[in-house]
Structure 1
Amino acid sequence: MKNLKYTSWAIMMLITGMMGCREDLLTTVPNDRLSSEIFWKTEKDAIFAANAVYTYLDSVNIFYFDGMSDIAHNNSVTSPEALIERGQFDPTYERIRTEWTKSYAGIRAANVYLEKVDEVQTNNKEIITRLKSEVRVIRAYLYIKLAALYGDVPLLEKSITLEESRNLVRTPVAQVWDFIYKELGEAATTLPVTQTDKGRVTKGAALALNARGMLYAGRYELAAQESKKVIDLNIYKLYPSYSKLFSYAAEGNEEVILDKQFVKNNYSTNVFQLFGPWSQRNSNSAVVPTRSLVDSYPMSNGKKISDPTSGYSTAEPYKNRDPRLGYTIFIKGDKLPDGTIYNSDPGSGTSDAIDFSWFATSTGYNMKKYINPEDLEQPANSGINIILMRYADVLLMYAESKIESNSIDLTVYDAINQVRRRADVNLPPISSTLSQTELREIVRNERKTELAMEGLRYFDIRRWKLSESIIPGRVYGITYMKNGVPTLIEVPAFEKVFNKNRDYLWPIPQREMELNARLTQNQNW
């Protein structure tokens, strides 16, 4: 997929008709879109147009969702995401609008593709069938996000005119979930298990996304069924090194089921510049982990840090902890991409110190996933792929759906223990005699720690209806020694807010309501 560099569509969008000295001078090819007279002719057209639909997959925008949850904080207190953290947002807010408009732009691109691609003349109908299934999966991916964020949303299975768009109504979310399940199920039947072109949608991606969709919908038996299908493909396994999982060396490894592909100098991402520590060429520390996340990692013996017998020491808070803590978050003493040592303590004199600038981390922690030394010289020109679905998530979805449907058996314990016992994590296995309540707590914490800073926590705690109890309050960070006294960092003048009567669904963007009087608003907005 990277060989195609995602640029085909953009290049062709610039192609215009040759005007020259012709009698039909005014009959020109439009320069803002591709004309059917010159496109939808060859297999290459079909491939390039499908690649254009792939650009609508999420990328760095997913990390801001974690900043709106309990495990992280949007470091710029004036950003749209920070205002959502504060509960100070409404239907006019930028982030509310952009997630809606970008998703529907992708859905429109997918619908146009599905309507036009059969015009391509080819004897190889299998490639057209495959490409159509890839596009259907991407469309379903976008609908999963829309349904999870907004609830009832217009369900569009074909392209529409401007006039038709002014008369859309919201489809009940249950019907949207029905559509997602049907679409992904049908696409999975025609997609290959593997693709020669890395990054293209596969059968496993369709099945795994179906598991996610059904889990979000609360349809646990279906979620278990779909995640088990992924497991039974027997082609995915956990990458042995969690510490390297988000590095260039691990790209395309056996754990990755779906990722957004990037290429330096061509189709790049600015993940390092946005989320790296401030000391690293003035990267932005845009989303920083909180104490809530750090404290959720158990000791290496598997015990919670709150357990008096765990061996946890406030003097050495990171010693003998779940290794994923140090693989996910920059903590004091870590080596940074430029070779210096990370120290965010106030007064430490480093540019990562909490009191150094407005741009340095306000909690004392920084995101480590995706922050690779290869991107140090050009932080805004990263080629690292952003993982959107991996096998560990599938294992935890399988375990959770079996727990919630009260179909607990040894496969549930095995799925959780596989994640906990990855080679460079190696936590003790959980007991096989736990209750449903105990297992629920364990699998939820595993999702919190295993998938931290990957954009999933915000969706998890909303569907668990936990947001109202764990989001509100002050934001805390590191503990450091001040005049010989352990002192807990509290982000000044900032408090997270979550209104249980309103915030479990985002509002329908105000601009959409103004353009279409038939759209209704979510409750209490």
Structure 2
Amino acid sequence: MKSIHKYLSTAAFLGMMLLTISCNDQLHEIAENLTATNATDYTKTEDMINPLLGAYGEFQNRGWEDYPLISVRGDDVNAGGLGDQQEFANSDRYNYANTDYWMFNSVWQNLYNDVLAANSAIEQIELYKEFAPNPALADQYMAEAKVLRAFLLLQLSRTWGRVYIPVTSDPTDLFEMKVSTKDEVMQFIADDMDAAAGQLPNLRPNQRDDIKGGVTRYTALAMKALANLELKNFQGVADATGAIIESGLFHLEDDYYNLFKIPGKLNDENLLELQYWDSGVAGGTSLSYLFAFFGPETWKPKVATAGGGWGFFEPSLKYVKFMLDRNEEKRLVTTVIFTPRGIAKIQEDPKYATLPSYVSVTTPSGDVFQDFAREMFLSGKHYLPSDQLTAGINDYGTNKNFICLRYAEILLMHAEARVQGASGSISADEAVNQVRDRADLGHLSGVTLDDVLDEKYAELATEWGVRYFDMLRYQRYDELSYDGRTFTADKTFLPYPQIQVDQLPGLTESN
């Protein structure tokens, strides 16, 4: 996790966020050669990219706890059953009684730290712009930082509802601000992305030469669509996703399994991803998300030296049965890794006494998974086959990227908007069937909202809480009440971390 132990005080925050860096073509060098803003010569406009790279660096240096807390509450995912993170498991079961739980506070601070880092980049680039021979490039860089900020604000408001919308880098502003409603946050994002989109390159992220994989116009439009989806402004969703579809730049990767592995890095399907790397040399350096959170405590990897993990995040039995009922092979074996105990649990239900051969403890890559106490299944989208690790760099998942937004979600959001009455670029049938084609499923006609939500469940399970937020949007609380859980509307948002409530007047008023 990020080493932020208290509220984002000015001294602590400025010490880590006011960044510039020396290399502008590789995001994996983000941590090197940092200098303070007060030493910056803003007439050296060749350095104008440096604050932006600092913002990217903070954005990609995600605390391991961010994603699990955001993603664990849907009926697609369960927390690992045993271990030292009982409050994480309680959150999965909608029990938020312990507001002092460290993960609540850490995720809040991680996300806000990076919002303020993006704001700092915008402020610094504005100072460079005065001297820049190409002011439009400064506008582009500021727009990129705004897209990163939008993604972070989206996660904050989806998780906590009423939150702050800081637009400066001064953390003390939070002491004076009032929180905004979720609708206000989403409208801010939608409006901000509408303005930012016109200042960004008309490219896929992987087509950029200056910042490979950096955000583009279409990343901004994706964020605009997500914000409008939360607002139930379905025409806004259709317009934004339609522009992405009409660009003709994005394509569904045929190899769904490897989309989430090394071959899927900077894929034509991806609109935003956290980028990680290693040196490619045995025993060399690496920068990675801590994928051990998703890994097995015990396994028999094909490459015997590959490391394991903690076992705290598993696809749900409900999801597994849903996919078996659909005879889904490609997406099931990508999303779910089976253990002997998990297979036995499925077969306790007479309906599933005989399972297809693809339900196996051996992955398509030849790694064998064993029983361990915490989980019956493991998250396949967060698994890297042992034979894709660089020799001598053995930590679970190292060198794998982390996808945040991809074209399949764009198509399915477009379909959702269309079945809700919006006009659009393609029909709901066409959008859904493009996704089903990749899954080797037959075409649907007369697609309904139920069809779209089922397709999103199948396609996007275990990804950024999509399923949970879909069920909230349509108040399908019965779907979230499964396996002994009972969901009610008052459980929609996490409680504010107590340490933040104790210090920020706006949170006390909101509570």
Alignment TM-score, normalising by the size of structure 2: 0.79
Larger radius of gyration: 1
Cross-structure match for 2:78: 73
C-alpha separation in 1, matches of 2:92 and 2:28 = 34
Distance change in 2, residues 1:284/1:322 (3 Å): same
Superposition RMSD in Å: 2.6
Q: 1:365 aligns with which of 359, 365, 377?
A: 377
1:158 deviates by 2.1
Distance change in 2, residues 1:166/1:230 (3 Å): same
Contact 1:63 1:454 in 2 (8 A): no
Output one character per residue of 1:408-466: Cα deviation in whole Å (capped at 9) or x when no partner: 996110000000001xx22000023x5xxxx1111111111101122222322222322
The unaligned stretches of length 5 or more in structure 2 are 1-22, 279-284, 302-306, 339-358
Query: What does 1:300-379 align with in structure 2 at a 5 Å threshold?
Result: 304=325, 321-331=328-338, 332-336=359-363, 339-342=366-369, 352-353=370-371, 357-359=372-374, 361=375, 364-372=376-384, 373=386, 374-375=388-389, 378-379=394-395
Q: 1:95 aligns with which of 95, 100, 103?
A: 103
1:396 deviates by 0.1
Q: Does 1:181 align with 2:190?
A: yes
Opposite residue 291 of structure 1, the aligned amino acid is L
Distance change in 2, residues 1:339/1:406 (3 Å): closer
1:384 deviates by 1.4
Contact 2:242 2:425 in 1 (8 A): no
Q: Kindly report structure 1 stretches of 4+ aligned residues shifted beyond 4 Å.
A: 406-410
Cross-structure match for 1:480: none
Output one character per residue of 1:282-317: Cα deviation in whole Å (capped at 9) or x when no partner: 32222111111112225xxxxx45xxxxxxxxxxxx
1:406 deviates by 6.1
C-alpha separation in 1, matches of 2:113 and 2:175 = 16
Cross-structure match for 1:165: 174
1:184 deviates by 0.4
C-alpha separation in 2, matches of 1:85 and 1:71 = 11
Contact 1:256 1:387 in 2 (8 A): yes
Distance change in 2, residues 1:67/1:402 (3 Å): same
1:64 deviates by 4.7
Output one character per residue of 1:365-392: Cα deviation in whole Å (capped at 9) or x when no partner: 2222242222385125612111111000
Distance change in 2, residues 1:226/1:394 (3 Å): same
1:504 deviates by 0.9
C-alpha separation in 1, matches of 2:509 and 2:54 = 32
* SS of structure 1 residue aligned to 2:416: helix
Q: 2:319 aligns with which of 278, 289, 293?
A: 293
Cross-structure match for 2:112: 104
Alignment TM-score, normalising by the size of structure 1: 0.77
C-alpha separation in 1, matches of 2:427 and 2:373 = 48
Aligned residues: 438
Distance change in 2, residues 1:341/1:506 (3 Å): closer
Cross-structure match for 1:411: 427
Q: Does 1:401 align with 2:411?
A: no
The unaligned stretches of length 5 or more in structure 1 are 16-33, 299-303, 306-319, 343-351, 475-494
Q: Does 1:239 align with 2:258?
A: no
Q: Does 1:451 align with 2:477?
A: no
1:226 deviates by 0.8
Query: What does 1:257-272 align with in structure 2 at a 5 Å threshold?
Result: 257-264=271-278, 265-271=285-291
Distance change in 2, residues 1:230/1:335 (3 Å): same
Cross-structure match for 1:301: none
Q: Does 1:276 align with 2:295?
A: yes
1:96 deviates by 2.3
Higher share of residues assigned helix? 2
C-alpha separation in 1, matches of 2:404 and 2:212 = 14
Opposite residue 507 of structure 2, the aligned amino acid is L
